[in-house]
Amino acid sequence: MVTGESLPILKEINSSVIGGTINLHGALHIQATKVGSNTVLSQIICLVETAQMSKAPVQKFADFVASIFVPTVVALSFLTLVYLWSIRSIPR
């Protein structure tokens, strides 16, 4: 499952297996060589968490542009509203 193989893979004596391996037939005698944070699954989880915490350069740039663009648009909208209100309130 973890390796992404779509078809069963034959394992011989002394072959290594990863957690989540499916036994199709026969008995297995397995010795755990890695446990806890040393397992493949734990390493994958760590890599995914690290990737989720960091931002891509393009995302950092988009955040920077948005931090300037959005307040500018809101301010211009407010100034336009004030200007149009002031024009309508002047008697002609």
Query: Is the same domain home to 4 and 45?
Result: yes
Residue 34's alpha-carbon distances to 37, 42, 79, in angstroms, are 8, 10, 64
Phi, psi dihedral angles at 87 (to 5 degrees): -70, -40
Domain that holds residue 36: 1-54
Q: Sorting pLDDT into bands at 50, 70 and 90, what band is 90? A: low
Check whether 35 has a pLDDT greater than 70: yes
Q: What is the enclosing helix (H) or strand (E) of 3?
A: none
pTM surpassing 0.75? no
CA distance 39 to 14: 18
Query: Is the same domain home to 38 and 10?
Result: yes
- What does pLDDT average to over the chain? 87
Which residues fall within 8 angstroms of residue 85, CB to CB, at 6 or more apart? none
Query: Is the same domain home to 49 and 59?
Result: no
